[in-house]
A = this chain, B = another copy of it.
Amino acid sequence: MPITLDQAQTIVRAALEHGTEQGFQPLTVAVLDPGGALVALARQDGSGYLRPDLATAKAWGILGMGMTNRALAARAEAAPDLYTTLVALSGGKVASVPGGVFVRDADGQLLGAVGISGDTSLNDEAAALAGIEAAGLVAETGAEA
């Protein structure tokens, strides 16, 4: 079952609130369903026009490969050529930096992914986590606990 628009908009709202509270740079948030299609996107005033594509890519790539950003980064380090191929193959829709986060329900079922771009990668990811938590859903980043 894909993420609903209501869940996605809750994530968007809470992620942007987190960024504003923390004094982050203006963010762009994208929420994608398991098929890689946009469900919701919001770009804060002052966030650059490339940010929607980058936020979307962060989520699209992890869904498409079924691997977290950190797993992608490990793979990219071990096999840089593979990463180059993945990026070219997807027209740039794969990113190994943090800021793309899987969204699951309480049973571990995949609902989609969130991608955020605008501040540092780790701040982008923190905003995604805040959004997913606000929606009562479960985030997976690949970071060790």
Contacts from A to B (Cβ < 8 Å)? 2, 4-5, 8-9, 16, 25-26, 33-54, 57, 61, 63-67, 73, 76, 79, 81-97, 121
A66 with B94: CB separation less than 8 A: no
A63 to B9: give the CA distance in the assembly, Å.
24
Kindly report which residue of chain B lies nearest to residue A121, judged by CB atoms: B79
B residues less than 8 Å from A43 (CB atoms)? 5, 37-40
Whole-angstrom distance from the CB of A120 to the nearest CB of chain B? 9
Whole-angstrom distance from the CB of A113 to the nearest CB of chain B? 11
A34 to B49: give the CA distance in the assembly, Å.
9
A44 to B39: give the CA distance in the assembly, Å.
7
